[in-house]
Every structure is written in C-alpha cells, then in structure tokens.
Structure 1
Amino acid sequence: MHKILQFRDQTLLHRALTHRSYVHENPQQGEHNERLEFLGDAVLNFLSGEYLYRRFPEKGEDELTRRRSALVDEKQLARFAIEVGLDLRMRLGKGAILDGGFSNPNLLSSTFEAVVGAYYLDNNFDIEAVRTVVEPLFDAVPEEIVEVRANVDSKNRFQEWVQRNITPTPPKYLTEQVGGSSHAPEFIAKVLVGEKVYGVGRGRSKKVAEKAAAEDALANVKEKA
C-alpha cells in the first residue's frame, strides 16, 4: 500500500475516497470529499510551485506557472491516483460506476486531491509529511511530458496575451454547473478581462470548461489580430 493511503484516522481516508454520488445513494455514510478536495488542491499547488522553484532556479515566473499547471492538471493527477491505487478504492454511486467512474480522469484527479487534503489533516497540518509522499510522484513525471504540456496550456497562454496586450491583471473565470447528473456534471465557463467576455467553454469539470473558455478566447483574439 502506498504511504499516502496509510492513515491514523481511517474516517478521514474514507471521507476522502467518498464521492457525492455515493453519499446521494447512501446518505447515512456522512460527508463526501469535496471540502477535502478543495484543501488538497491548495496543498498541491503550493508544493508543486515550491518544488519547481527549487528544481529550476533559472526559469522565470511565466515558465514556472506553465510547468506547475502541467504538473497538477487533471490528466496528471488522474495518473497519480492510479499509481497510488485510488482507482478501485474510490467510493462511487452505482450510476457513476456504470458510467466508468473508476477510470474517469475527473473523478480520479478529484479523489487524489481529496486524499492529499486528508493526509495533510491526518498529519496535523504538517506540510513536510505531505511533501515526502508527493515529491516522488513529481520526480517520476518525465521532463519532456511536463515541457510539452507547459507549452500548450491554454489558460496560461491567454493570461500571457492579456498581460502583454491589455492589462497586468489576470483574466477571471466565472464557472457554473449547467446540467448533467451528480456523477457526470456539465459546466460552462466564461473568461473575462475586466467586464468583457473573451471566451466561453463547456466541460465535464470546472478545469476542462475553463481551459475550453481560454482556447475560445485565444481563437477570438487571433481572428481580430
């Protein structure tokens, strides 16, 4: 068993593995993992940023930002989830399972974030304990994969365009769920610069919808150039 699954408080681990679709079908099971997902996302962003800052002392802010996005994007976090054995441990509702939830990148990545958040709590808010289990995962990602992903990240490319051509203030994203079920939601995102909408995108997760909005914005500004 991977160290990140070795918990003193097993109830924390169970909560981290519990998707809302499971709680919907089993309300007596208590809380789902979305609050832990929020915490884990913040922890991973900090640790990946600090990791890259140390590893690449010659890289500037823009390059480090792109690399961080690539290192903790949905696809990569889903791979981490499978690597540590979360895929078949996720507690999903029957509908989510029938829809292929055990191999769904969005569910896998979200669960990995939740487990990281739970591990942080289980270790009394000790960031070093989390670092020891996630940095080996970061180390195992081939450099060329991170580099390729970093160069194609649409959100970062649109932010660079905005800061180069309009304002130093980063664009903002307004994202909401517009349909789908509890285990297969659909989101729509709008990317704004000031009060002006530059792009709109849809996706099965907030991250995917926001990237689609950024791609739409890049296409729109290219057409006007």
Structure 2
Amino acid sequence: MPKRKNPDTAKQPPTIQDTTKRERAPKRQKSSPSSSSPPSSSSDFSPLTLCTKWTTKELTLSKSTLPPLPPILDPTLETAALTHSGCKKNAQDLSYERLEWIGDVYLELIASELVYSTFSTIPEGEMSRRRELLIRNSTLSAFSVRYGLDKRANFPEEFQLAGRPKGSTANAKRKEKALADIFEAYVGAIIRSDPKNGYRNAVNWLKALWGPLLEQEVKVEEGGGRLIDKETNPKVRLEQLIGASHVRIEYRDLPGTGQRFVDKQPQFGIGVFFTGWGEEGVLLGEGWDFGKKGAGHKAAERACEHPVLTRLVERKRAFKGARAIAREGEERKGEGGEDGGVIKVQRGV
C-alpha cells in the first residue's frame, strides 16, 4: 500500500515552498549580470573620458565668443544658486552657500583633469599654478560679471551688487568672494539639476571658457613643452662655460623658499654659488619658481648673464691653454727620453 501512494503524492502540485525555491533561482541569475556591470550612463560622469586635453585648434574657435551658459533644469536650484543666505524668504530655503560647497569640488576636479590631460611636460608645482589660475576668486568673479550673474543674484544691499545704491560696508574683497561663490554655486546647480547630462555639459562649457586663459601654455606644450635637452639646459650651459674638476658650482635654497606665495602657491628660491678661478662663494644668480627644479634652471639662466661670467670664462680659457702647453711639453720630454734611450743602446752596441 505505501508503494502505491508514492506515485500519487508525486503527481500532487508543488507546495508553496517548492514554488518559492524555483522562482528565486532565475531571479538571482538575472540580477547578477546587472550588479557586476555598471550602468551605461556611468560613462557620462567619468572625468577620464570627458576631460580631454586642450588643443590650439579648439582654442582658436572658442576664444572669439563667450560659450553659452548652460541652463539649470531645476527652478528651485536655480533660485538657490543666485540667493544669498541673508535674502532667503524662509529659514529652510536653500541658498548659494550650500551649492557653492559642492560646486567648488566640481570645479577643482574638472580643472585638475583638464590640466593633467593637456600638460605632460611640466612639474607638479606648475600644474597647481595653472589650476589655481582657473579657479581662483578673481577669475570666477570676472566670469560671473561677464555672464550677468551679478545682476540676477539676490544679495543684501551692503554688497552693492546689481546696481544697489545704499550699502557700502562690503569691501572689494568680500564682493569678489561673493561673485566667485555664486559662480561655483551655479556650476553645482548645473550638475545637480541634470543627473544624466549635467556633468558633461559643465565640462564642455568650462573647457571652452577656461581655454583662452592658457592659450600660450598650450602652444608651448604642443611645440615640445618644457622638455629641456643638453643644448638648452642652462645648468649644462653654465657648467660648460666655467666648470672644471677643481671648481664648485652649488645650488642652494634661498631664505624664504617655500614661504612666499603667488596665486596661493608656494614659491621656491634657488641661488647659484661659484667657487674657483680666484673667486670664493660668489652668488652668480637666483631664481624663483613653483618647483625647485624650475627655480634652479632660472637661477642658472641668470648666472649665464652675470657680468663676472666673462672674467671667469677668460680665466678658464687661460687655465686650459696653460695646461695644454704643459701637457705638450711633458709629451715632448717623454718622447725625447725614449729617443735618448735608443741612442744609448745603439752606442752601446
């Protein structure tokens, strides 16, 4: 009897547990490929693919006209990007200060990627200087004025922006900072209001906007950049002019190196000191740059123009001439000794 019941039970419909087990398996199989592969829209946010290098051809086309300002698709974000916190209608409303915080990050990232992609022959200090040129307050505030954001912005009267006649307490530095902040906030709003294409639109716009500021540097880069060979290297040239085995050409840090700043970037000072040819510890030249390597090259260039260099070159030339005469005399003396030995041997024979 039990054997007859088994076929009947096998024909019964599956239980709820069995159905659940069978349905879960294909769900895992379908979800695994999507979880392992990124969504197709992720490439829109890759700085590596969007921030391509500047070329002189692009700059020639972009510098003639101001690139159009990308729109902010969310009206709430657009209002916030142009509203000072002191002009909010409600305490919970957004202002440009919050959007400026994220916009500042976007700007630095985009500027860094563009500089890194374009300039492959310059040191890191020079890269930082060029990035700072693009994102500093004076640059961004000027862009705000060119696009008329100062007239669209809602500022307290004290800033005297957009033609407000009453306030006079905000100084020029505060006004510049406020105008730079709304530009950063506007960039943040462009990207945040359009998750699909906002970042791409911001990159294309900023690349065209920033490009003319670095036009000369891009031309230098395309012409070979700052790769220094032995023929143009000022350090090598200085060594060739006055160097020798018994003289010293030293490159030393100058006082204040790394402590003075230009465009918020530290500058390094290097001095070239020379000992030899009758001179002791003479400072031939000094140079300042955003990296010690560049400062050393500038110092060597100054040294090659120093008035004392002519005297040192003459002394080196005179020394080499005297040494050549002495060597020639020694060679002749050596040859004469050999001849005398041969004669003695012949006489002995």
Interval of TM-score (by shorter of Structure 1 and Structure 2): 0.5 to 0.7
Q: 1:87 Cα shift?
A: 1.4
CA distance in 2, matches of 1:71, 1:123: 24
Query: What whole-Å deviation, never above 9, does each CA across 1:121-153 have from its counterpart, x for those lacking one?
Result: 0121642221011111101325469xxxxx962
**Structure 2 residue aligned with 1:127:** 199
In 1, distance between residues paired with 2:142 and 2:132?
Answer: 15
Unmatched runs of 5 consecutive residues or more in structure 2: 1-65, 161-166, 218-259, 270-349
Residue number among 37, 45, 67 corresponding to 2:108 in the alignment:
45
DSSP-derived class of the 1:87 partner: helix
Amino acid corresponding to residue 266 of structure 2 in structure 1 = R
Q: Report the equivalent of 1:115.
A: 186
Secondary structure at the aligned position of 1:157 is classed as strand
- Whether contact under 8 Å (2:133, 2:263) holds in the other structure is no
Residue 11 (str. 1) matches residue 76 (str. 2): yes
Aligned residue number for residue 201 of structure 1: none
User: In the aligned structure 1, how far is the partner of 2:263 from the partner of 2:214?
Assistant: 21
Q: Which runs of 5+ in 1 are unaligned?
A: 146-150, 162-225
Is this contact kept in 1: 2:132–2:264, CA < 8 A?
A: no
Structural mapping, 1:81-120, within 5 Å: 81-97=144-160, 98-99=167-168, 104-120=175-191
| Residues 32/66 of structure 1: CA separation in 2 closer, same or farther (3 Å cut) | same
Deviation at 1:99, TM superposition (A): 3.2
Tell me if 1:157 matches 2:157.
Answer: no
TM-score (structure 2 length as normaliser): 0.39
Q: Shift of residue 28 of structure 1?
A: 6.3
For 1:2 and 1:66, the matched residues in 2 are separated by 24
Q: 1:20 — aligned with what?
A: 85
Choose which of 209, 213, 220 in structure 2 pairs with 1:141. 213
Contact 2:78 2:189 survives alignment (8 Å)? yes
Assess, with a 3 A threshold, how the Cα gap between structure 1 residues 136 and 66 changes in structure 2: closer, same or farther: same
Deviation at 1:93, TM superposition (A): 1.9
Distance in 2, Cα, partners of 1:3 & 1:122: 17
Equivalent residue letter for 1:62: G
The one-letter amino acid paired with 1:153 is V
Return the index of the structure with the highest Cα Rg. Answer: 2
- Secondary structure of the 1:4 match is coil
Q: Look up the equivalent residue of 1:141 and give its one-letter code.
A: L
Distance in structure 2 (CA, Å) of the matches to 1:138 and 1:31: 28
Q: Distance between the aligned counterparts of 1:80 and 1:9, measured in 2?
A: 22
C-alpha spacing 1:121/1:131, structure 2 compared with 1 (3 Å): same
1:40–1:117 contact (8 Å) kept in structure 2? yes
Partner SS, residue 265 of structure 2: helix
| Cα distance in structure 2, aligned partners of 1:2 and 1:61 | 29
Shift of 1:44: 0.3
Identity of aligned residues (%): 26
| Cα deviations by residue, 1:196-220 (Å, 9 ceiling, x for unpaired) | xxxxxxxxxxxxxxxxxxxxxxxxx
Deviations 1:20-65 (A, max 9, x none): 1212xx3368221111001110000001111111221211211101
The one-letter amino acid of 1:20's match is S
**Preserved contact between residue 17 and residue 90 of structure 1 (Cα < 8 Å):** yes
Distance (Å, rounded) in 2 between the aligned partners of 1:75 and 1:44: 14
Aligned residues: 153
1:135-176 Cα shifts (integer Å, max 9, x gaps): 11101325469xxxxx96263216x68xxxxxxxxxxxxxxx
Q: Which amino acid is 1:32 matched to?
A: S
